[in-house]
Structure 1
Amino acid sequence: MRPIIVLFTRDLRVRDHPALAAAADRGAPVVPLFVVDPAITSRAARNRIAYLCEALAGLRGALRAVGGGLVLRCGDTVREALCLAHETGAGRIHLSADVSALAAARSARLRREAAAVGVEVAEFPGVTVVAPGELVPAGGDHYKVFTPFWRAWEAHRWRDVVAAPRLLSLPTGVSEGGTPEDALKGAGVGELSPSRQPGGEQEARRRLSAWLSNGCSSYERLHDDLAAAATSRLSADLRFGCLSPVETARAALEHPGGRSWVRQLAWRDFHHQVTAAFPGIAVRDYRPRDVRWRDDEDALEAWRGGRTGVPIVDAGMRQLVAEGFMHNRARMIAAAFLTRHLRLHWRHGAAHFHALLTDGDVADNCGNWQWVAGTGNDTRPNRRFNLLRQSRRFDRDGDYIRRHVAELAGLSGPDIHAPWRARTPPVDYPIPLTDLGE
């Protein structure tokens, strides 16, 4: 029986992996493959490269534990996959379907070039809970508003979780190649955050277990409390597919508070089905609003560096640098300041986030940026963002600000939210870049 290649992309796990399970079920030798493609890794955040390296090492270990292995190649993904098919005599290539413009173009090219040499390509679900295209409103190709999508999503029958393969075998003579560290040496842009989370399926499952046991029940009450840091911190694990979205959602619904948190997975699916229908989401307005954006490189650089003079904004921006992560409420606040107050283009903000976030998912990152900027799927594109009110509401005592903005560690009470009003303003902290319109 001819071998089957399983091309891993951002589905770096062995549990509930439909493409891998389907290959194993056919009884043929399975050749798991990951291609380090410079077209992607040269532009990826250094935090994502570090996570990827750890995830690949864990994936290789998990595959070896059941008799298989992980082949690592460097180069163009399509070309390397077809070269390996030629070397091994593989007749099929399995992969998980994805939605970004890059992924869609890669899949189309793989199908076209594989067909020319007699190799079948099969795509499987696995990146989202509900695959894009499974839920379609009457008279449209995708949902443009979240609430009706959420109702349809919640009522939809999700696919079953599939077991990890118990036994795999690489064809004789196949070399797995070098280590992930060697393959990814020198890749990535941006800073490596000193407090980033480690990557890989084992770490992801440990975090999921801890979250379901200790955090999920209080999510609905505390998820917007910036100081409490009461969110799951699973976004990077889902982005790299070290956790199965379906398995994660099913597990969460068995715990108190799970439905509220699972709604965030529906938001993730919502952005993915929007991106599948509008793959230009990273570069074009989903809903053009004729916004007149300003050019101000100094203001943009101050925002990037967490020196805007608005403590709640600066705290989020500094958390991003330190951890490769930012609390979702802080992301919204930082995005609102850039787009609504400074009137700088959302693409600048999305690009900076993408250069530092470990999760860094195109659909979620750009979908959320466009939502805040008023060019995306928000049904109230002109909504107001009162940043001082947000600060007082979601960081009432200023603990989040003090945690990330060292210059303000000595302030308390109302001064922590508006230090320029303090009787003795801190001399090493800037005044706000713009009038906040209180």
Structure 2
Amino acid sequence: MDRVLVFSVPWLALFLVLTTTWAEDRLINPSQLEMFVDELPDMPRIHGFDVVNGVPKPKRLRIGMFKKEWKFHRDLPPTPVFAYGVSKNNATVPGPTIEAIYGVDTYVTWKNHLPSKHILPWDPTIPTAVPSTKKGIPTVVHLHGVIGEPESDGHAESWFTNRFAEKGPTWTKKTYHYRNFQQPGNLWYHDHAMGLTRVNLLAGLVGAYIIRHPKVEGPLGLPYGDEFDRTLMVFDRSFRINGSIYMNSTGNNPSIHPQWQPEYFGDAIIVNGKAWPHATVRRRKYRFRIINASNARFFRFFFTNGLRFIYVAADSVYLEEHVVTNEILLAPSEIADVVIDFSKSKSDTVILANNAKYPFPDGDPVNEANGKVMKFIIKKDKEVDTWRVPKKLIKYPSPELSSASQTRYIALYEYTSNTDEPIHLYINGKPYEEPVTETQKKGPQRYGM
């Protein structure tokens, strides 16, 4: 005889609550998410300059940080994120791509509109920006790769909270000044608050920044324009079945650091805010500025049909000569600027794949989920392609090296627990909080342009 369970209403309500809580703590299996169903987005583009009578002039921007919901995949519920944008409605993950002109100043007022409570767990036992009122999430923006004034660098202790209510000990001003007086190339901006950088980036606070130099780059004839010159920001994330970003809330050494872990690896590969997207391209050359915005994951990109990459720039500078390669290895924060000639493809579709072990180089092999990045659908008809990739790109002046007046040795110490898990890092045996021991001598700067 079958047994029938009868619940009173209070017990049924408790059962439903417990079931819901259990479900929200479960991770979604990436195999449940169909690949290549979402179209690759282009992030909004913002000019960091005005054009007056055909001449670029300095411009002032206001870009905020907002909590909102973002769809990483067609079949995932909306995900709470932190996002950059000129408004909450226009905020995206990644944030808007800022395009600047060489030698023309860009001014950005970064506005913190974040709430008091973080969407991810963070560990107060490591050096961390904590407002005295414990209200508001500290943030500060670092433009990675920039050459400029220290006050606009986004120092970890220059953080600020919503409406600048509280500020870190090295905070100096609201509006950052980017002189853009360096080689044309690719940079990226991200949160840099002390002890919160990892969780703020995982929440979504990343974006691209491009410095262009039309007089230098124009004669090269490389692919140009919104359709043919695109940024790909790649990172990994894991999700719960309710759509929220998953981050383990238990540390490797919970008796010392309750939450902190040295590395984060996600199950799904995200490109421009979508998990395993697809893009339709024409049979001609395209330029892709690929940024690895992961916390710890290396990528070794390759095409499944043998299509090759033409390397034209690395990080924030052009190469002197292009390099043709079958694969690209990118560590976190590195940028590969490549041209891909889809007219060389013998198939109408091609997968951009990854085979880098994690942690790199001796960790676990990739699986189906993190071994695929995105899919390109190639139109059948060939086209007349006016873009080219010259062998010689940008020639830089020979560096002027002076003889060193002092030789110094810098050692990085990693301290571990009894179970061989990292506890903390010291430089020359000293923690970050120690007083400065050396001051760099100020001298002339050369940017090679």
Q: TM-score range by the shorter chain?
A: under 0.3
Greater share of residues in helix: 1
TM-score by length of 1: 0.27
Larger radius of gyration: 2
More RCO (CA 8 Å, sep 6+): 1
Greater share of residues in strand: 2
TM-score by length of 2: 0.27
